[in-house]
């Protein structure tokens, strides 16, 4: 894009100083190319921002290191600001501390869900302090909110009875 811009500048100066009207179509052509390229780059950057926004809903507020590696500093800043804005919105909902709306993405069919452990994960501590040992190929019937994070990570697998 810079090369195109340089050429255009040169030609515009030429046209202005030497009254060469035959350079004008090439200038316009280069200008259109520049506009198009700018639109593409903007679309690409905007799409990246949308995906980063989706990452917040998928991964939670801490992104894994391999994802953060691929983001630029400005994108990280944008992500931090988005996180803050989402958090303050969630705090304002509902009583006493707000509602975490990133939890139930689809309306749940039941309070408890049957899951199967796909790989060894060790012990899981639930909200009320009880421990569950997640061994490979064991099946469990647990409250939905305990399992969702692990289902997304691939440690547990939802089983339809």
Partner 1 sequence: MFVTDIRKEFYEVVANQRVALLVAPDIDALCACKILQALFHCDQIQYTLVPVTGWQDLGTAFFEHKKQFRYFVLINCGANVDLLEMLQPDDDSILFICDTHRPVDVVNVYNDTQIKLLIKQDDDLGVPLYDEIFRDDEDEEEEEGNDSGNESDNGSEPSGKRRRFDEGEIERRIERQREKREWEARRKEILFDYEQYEYHGTSAAIMFFELAWVLTKDTKDMLWWAVIGLTDQWVHDKITNMKYVTDIGTMQRHVSRHNHRNEDEENSLSIDCMRISFEYDLRLTLYQHWSLYESISNSCYTSCHFKLWTLNGQKKLQEFLADMGLPLKQVRQKFTSMDMSIKENLREVIEESSNKFGLKDIRIQTFGVHFGFKNRFLASDMVHASTALLESTEKDKSETDNFIKALDSLSRSNLERLHLGIDLAKKKLIAIQQTVASCICTNLILSQGPFLYCYLTEGTPDVKLFSKPMALTLLCKYLLKAFIQSTRNKRCRLLPLIMAAPKDVDKGTVLVVGIPPDAETSDKKNFFGRAFEKAAESTSSRTLHDHFDTSIIELKTEDRSKFLDALITLLS
Sites of contact with partner 1 (CB under 8 A): 110-112, 114, 116, 130-133, 135-143, 160-161
Q: Phi/psi at 8 (nearest 5 deg)?
A: -65, -45
Residue 57 or 141 having the CB closest to partner 1:
141
- Residues 143/128, Cβ–Cβ less than 8 Å: no
Q: How far is the CB of 160 from partner 1 (least distance, A)?
A: 6
Q: How far is the CB of 105 from partner 1 (least distance, A)?
A: 22
Residue 23 or 115 having the CB closest to partner 1:
115
Give DSSP secondary structure letters for the chain: -HHHHHHHHHHHHHHHHH--GGGHHHHHHHHHHHHHHHHHHHHHHHHHHHHHHHHHHHH-SS--HHHHHTS-HHHHHHHHHHHHHHHHHHHHSSSTT---TTS-SS--S-SEEEEEE-S--EEEE-TTS-EEEE-TT-EEEEEHHHHHHHHHHTSEEE---
Residue 25 or 154 having the CB closest to partner 1:
154
Residue 10 or 131 having the CB closest to partner 1:
131
Residue 3 or 111 having the CB closest to partner 1:
111
Q: How far is the CB of 140 from partner 1 (least distance, A)?
A: 5
């Amino acid at each position: 894009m810079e090369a195109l811009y340089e050429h255009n500048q040169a030609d515009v100066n030429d046209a202005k100083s030497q009254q060469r009207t035959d350079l004008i179509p090439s200038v316009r052509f280069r200008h259109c190319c520049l506009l198009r390229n700018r639109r593409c780059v903007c679309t690409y950057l905007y799409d990246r921002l949308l995906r980063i926004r989706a990452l917040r809903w998928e991964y939670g507020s801490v992104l894994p290191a391999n994802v953060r590696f691929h983001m630029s500093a400005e994108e990280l800043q944008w992500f931090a600001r988005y996180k803050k804005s989402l958090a303050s919105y969630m705090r304002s909902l509902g009583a006493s501390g707000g509602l975490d709306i990133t939890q139930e993405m689809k309306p749940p069919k039941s309070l408890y869900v049957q899951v199967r452990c796909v790989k060894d994960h060790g012990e899981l501590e639930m909200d009320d302090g009880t421990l569950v040992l997640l061994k490979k190929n064991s099946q469990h019937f647990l409250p939905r909110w305990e399992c969702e994070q692990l289902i997304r990570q691939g440690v547990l697998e939802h089983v339809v009875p």
